[in-house]
Structure 1
Amino acid sequence: MPKPRFTQVSLEDTPFYHCISRTVRRAFLCGADPYTGQCFEHRRGWIEKRLLHLAQVFAIDIAAFAVMSNHLHVVLKVDAEKAQAWSDMEVVKHWHQVFGGTLLTQRFANGEDIEHYFIDLLDERISEYRQRLTNISWFMRALNEPIARSANKEDECTGRFWEGRFKSQALLDEAAVLACMTYVDLNPIRANMADTPERSNFTSIQRRINAAKQGGQPKELLPFVGNDRHAQPKGLVFELQDYLRLVDDTGRILRNDKHGAIQASSRQILERLNISQETWLNITKEFMNMFKGPVGSLPELTHYSENLGMQRVAHASSCQHWAN
């Protein structure tokens, strides 16, 4: 039986989560449906536009994403501190960008005077919105429900478009985050939808590459901020160019289905993470088959399980994949 979402999320252990949504009834997100001959490529744009919009609304950053033919991958980072720093007005305005709110919160957002006997109710509602803006279930709900309605309208049908629940995995350490991001970014290459990362449409890696060509990083995605240093800004603690090279090296080997050369800078990242090249290639090729639950080293898995009140270490056998 699937576990409630709150029993799988522990922000004390990690803010990073890998989420996957799949369609039902042979529904297509994009590409051509071989059964009907219809083309649904435009739906990839729906997903990407909505996803990037929500990253500006929620206190949740996007580290990686890939829109495939019948499923979506996204790596999210919850930023609880950002939500706590928002004023009450900011919280309400963020929420109203996606949901209607209540008559009371609408009055508050419009600057109207609120009667004293409504203040406690307003405070309660704002507190609820603040919590929801850091909740991955609400994020995925805000992503999936509008897409389902639009797809059903286009298909002239009713019923579920997505599976009942999205799947999520806690990513408990740097190695897990980087491996999952690379796995997600290389999805189109493994699926033969693209031959290079820069040609992988509707993916985070394509956005990062295009922005890097202009000397920057996409503002919609969680940035790479380099190695640990004093007063370091929030982001991924690797160099952008090192990550792009690592993904390209890995993609070339996976695409050619043979062992190839990992360049020196890429090897340095793997050495820092204590992952052998062979293990890295196996993980980035078979991530979803290897890991059915939280991902990380045994110590991290142990802490995660204890903090969630589990009687045994969750998916302890998974930690063997990190061994060199």
Structure 2
Amino acid sequence: MSRMARCEVFDPEEVAIAHVYTRVCRRCFLLGDDPVSGKNFDHRKVWIEEYLQQFAAYFGIDLVGFAILSNHFHLILRSRPDVVATWTDEEVARRWLMLCPHRRQADGSPMTPTQPEIQSIAGCPIKREVIRKRLSSFSWWMRLLCQRVAMRANREDEQTGRFIQDRYHDAFSGRSLVAGLCCLRRPESNSGGDGRNPRGQ
């Protein structure tokens, strides 16, 4: 039986809470010690935490909690399309350009978008509204997060190809949310916690 499309599971125009999780492949590690190579990968947990902080600052999604384990991670997310709807066109463009910048600093951090860059989105109604929807999309949050972790880990491992499983898992039932919250208390995570957005929503 084929899986339902995520747009069929919940209405992207409504506030939703989800427990999402994904797993690495190829015997890769997100943290801890690899008993075969003897390498320690705890620094990768720091990468993920930094990305989560950045995403919580610019997406219209609240990071309620998270847990990072040796080969997978769990997130509890709350989408806020109602908040995104209040943002000006320029704010939508600015936030997206901080997530997907045209230019970066030497350390890889995004450079502040210029006015022409902002207007390239804000001044195009079709493009602007597509991006507005992306800013409260669980799928786009996970797409960018998994992509960045995978690219960085592959560079470090001098590997190519898949690092994280194709499709992340999500669940919207109360039972799954309780299970996800329980994951935050696992000792191995050493990082689960409150991740409220800086905008105070």
Q: Which residue of 2 aligns with 1:255?
A: none
2: CA distance, partners of 1:51 / 1:65: 9
**Residues 26 and 92 (structure 1), Cα distance of their counterparts in 2 relative to 1, 3 Å cut:** same
Q: Which residue of 1 aligns with 2:182?
A: 183
Report the structure, 1 or 2, having the larger strand content: 2
Instruction: Please say if residues 14 and 170 of structure 1, whose CA atoms lie closer than 8 Å, have aligned partners that are also in contact.
Output: no
What does the per-residue CA deviation read over 1:180-218, in whole Å, with 9 as the maximum and x for residues that have no partner?
4531212x23xxx3xxxxxx52221xxx5xxxxxxxxxx
Q: CA deviation at 1:170?
A: 1.0
1:51 aligns with 2:52: yes
2: CA distance, partners of 1:58 / 1:113: 16
Matched-pair identity in %? 31
1: CA distance, partners of 2:58 / 2:121: 24
1:35 aligns with 2:59: no
2: CA distance, partners of 1:170 / 1:119: 32
2: CA distance, partners of 1:53 / 1:222: 10
Q: CA deviation at 1:21?
A: 1.1
Report the structure, 1 or 2, having the larger helix content: 1
Q: What is the one-letter code of the residue matched to 1:59?
A: G
Q: Which residue of 2 aligns with 1:137?
A: 139
2: CA distance, partners of 1:4 / 1:25: 27
2: CA distance, partners of 1:183 / 1:129: 33
1:97 aligns with 2:98: yes
2: CA distance, partners of 1:120 / 1:110: 10
In structure 2, list runs of 5 or more residues that go unmatched: 103-112
Q: Which residue of 1 aligns with 2:66?
A: 65
Return the TM-score normalized by structure 1: 0.53
1:221 aligns with 2:193: no
Larger radius of gyration: 1
Count of residue correspondences: 189
Q: CA deviation at 1:153?
A: 0.5
2: CA distance, partners of 1:113 / 1:35: 48
Return the TM-score normalized by structure 2: 0.82
Q: Which residue of 1 aligns with 2:75?
A: 74
1:110 aligns with 2:85: no
2: CA distance, partners of 1:40 / 1:154: 11
Q: Which residue of 2 aligns with 1:6?
A: 7
Q: Which residue of 1 aligns with 2:109?
A: none
Q: CA deviation at 1:149?
A: 0.5
What does the per-residue CA deviation read over 1:96-152, in whole Å, with 9 as the maximum and x for residues that have no partner?
011147xxxxxx9515897xxx99971111111100001110000111111100100
What does the per-residue CA deviation read over 1:133-176, in whole Å, with 9 as the maximum and x for residues that have no partner?
0111000011111110010011111010000110000145xx76
- Secondary structure in 1 aligned to 2:124? helix
**Residues 82 and 154 (structure 1), Cα distance of their counterparts in 2 relative to 1, 3 Å cut:** same
**Residues 119 and 149 (structure 1), Cα distance of their counterparts in 2 relative to 1, 3 Å cut:** closer
Q: CA deviation at 1:8?
A: 2.4
Instruction: Please say if residues 13 and 81 of structure 2, whose CA atoms lie closer than 8 Å, have aligned partners that are also in contact.
Output: no
Which of the numbers 186, 190, 194 marks the counterpart of 1:201? 190
2: CA distance, partners of 1:153 / 1:43: 12
2: CA distance, partners of 1:120 / 1:86: 11
What does the per-residue CA deviation read over 1:268-294, in whole Å, with 9 as the maximum and x for residues that have no partner?
xxxxxxxxxxxxxxxxxxxxxxxxxxx
Q: Output aligned runs, 1:240-319, within 5 Å.
A: none
Instruction: Please say if residues 31 and 71 of structure 2, whose CA atoms lie closer than 8 Å, have aligned partners that are also in contact.
Output: yes
Q: Which residue of 1 aligns with 2:106?
A: none
Instruction: Please say if residues 17 and 79 of structure 2, whose CA atoms lie closer than 8 Å, have aligned partners that are also in contact.
Output: yes
CA RMSD of superposed structures (Å) = 2.9
1: CA distance, partners of 2:16 / 2:97: 24
**Residues 185 and 109 (structure 1), Cα distance of their counterparts in 2 relative to 1, 3 Å cut:** same
Q: What is the one-letter code of the residue matched to 1:203?
A: G
Looking at both structures, which has the greater relative contact order when contacts are Cα pairs under 8 Å and sequence separation is at least 6? 2
- Secondary structure in 1 aligned to 2:67? strand
Instruction: Please say if residues 74 and 180 of structure 2, whose CA atoms lie closer than 8 Å, have aligned partners that are also in contact.
Output: no
